[in-house]
Amino acid sequence: MAAGALMEFGMVDLLRAAWVAATLPILVASVPVWPISFFHKILAVFAARGKTMQSSTKLIVPQRFFLHFYVIAIILNTTLVFSTWFYAYNRMTPLASESLQFSTIASHLTGTSHMFSIHKSVITPMKRRLEVWRTVLVLLMMEAQSLRRLYETINVFHYGPSARMHVFGYLAGLFFYTAAPLSLGSTCALEGLSYLGNQIVVFIVKGRSQMPDIKFFHWELLIPFLSLGWCQWLGASLFVWGWIHQLRCHAILGSLREERGADEYIVPNGDWFEYVSCPHYLSEIVIYAGMLIASGAFDLTIWLLFFFVASNLIFAAAETHRWYHHKFESYPSSRRAIIPWIF
């Protein structure tokens, strides 16, 4: 356990340093000061993709490579969800006053107790148990986000052969969808993986016949979520709100790609497009804000992840908004780049 804790602290420090290193260039490039304006141009080239990319840009890859981001995210995040949930179910229950309930005590007296045990609840502080279950909830949110984005990449966005993105943006995407799940689960992900690994080793050494009979009760897998606080419910609600609107906005963009020709662009309308040029970016910020709140909003690593998401998308939205105004003379003047009525 001590070695696992040391590894976890080392990973957390590395993730935090990575998020700071990734966010600082965006913040510097966003400062409207002439001596560093060249830095803005360089970053704009690196971040460009699709319609905002210049034809002379070198080191490009097909935009359909977005698929790689979500495949990586799903593989990694699913592993973290399974191991952390398995760990939480076995070692971090019951929550709240469940350990003192008559039904739990009676099950021990009659010898019918299973994974929920008084012993496990006593040796683990309540604060830690709630932290692990909050992590499971946030990782489930990331799973829902990654699965939907994978579906949209395959079935909604029809990237043409000329759709490209800079290789720097591609590498940044690979970094993000590797580091984001690790950051969301940084407080206990390695602990959960270690626990699952130990159980697998025990299973291999002892064999199935020597292992205790483990029973999973499906409704009990969900009960701990009901014991989480209002902060988790608020975060989950915010996540769902942003998730639904991003789904709608991506459907609008996908339908425009089906209607237009290879080199023709149409001004999108509907849903949050009536207020901002990049509502899919706005909704993504809302999604990660929901994850931040659901996590309890106390983890610096998740705050740094959120700051990167917000700064990166605001920068990209400003570039896209500028492109829209340059491309369409009659572009709606009331629309802002990403924040309604403000920016």
- Given a cut of 70, whether residue 108 has pLDDT beyond it is no
How many other CB atoms are there within 10 angstroms of residue 339's CB atom?
13
pLDDT of 287 reads: 98
Q: Judge whether 49 and 165 are in contact, CB under 8 Å.
A: yes
pLDDT tier at 260 (50, 70, 90 boundaries)?
low
- Given a cut of 80, whether residue 301 has pLDDT beyond it is yes
Buried b (16+ CB within 10 A) or exposed e, 47-67: bbbbebbeeeeeebeebbbbb
On the CB side of 302, CA atoms within 13 Å amount to 23
More confident residue, 85 or 258: 85
Report the alpha-carbon distance of residue 60 to residue 49 in Å, rounded: 9
Lookup: tokens for 84: 């952390």
> Averaged over 109-128, what is the pLDDT?
52
The reported pTM is 0.86
Q: Judge whether 165 and 60 are in contact, CB under 8 Å.
A: yes
- Given a cut of 90, whether residue 162 has pLDDT beyond it is no
> Averaged over 45-66, what is the pLDDT?
78
> Averaged over 42-55, what is the pLDDT?
75
pLDDT of 55 reads: 66
Which sign, positive or negative, has the C-alpha torsion 309, 165, 343, 271? Answer: negative
- Given a cut of 70, whether residue 71 has pLDDT beyond it is yes
> Averaged over 250-263, what is the pLDDT?
75
Q: Judge whether 9 and 187 are in contact, CB under 8 Å.
A: no
Q: Is 117 helix (H, G, I), strand (E, B) or coil?
A: coil
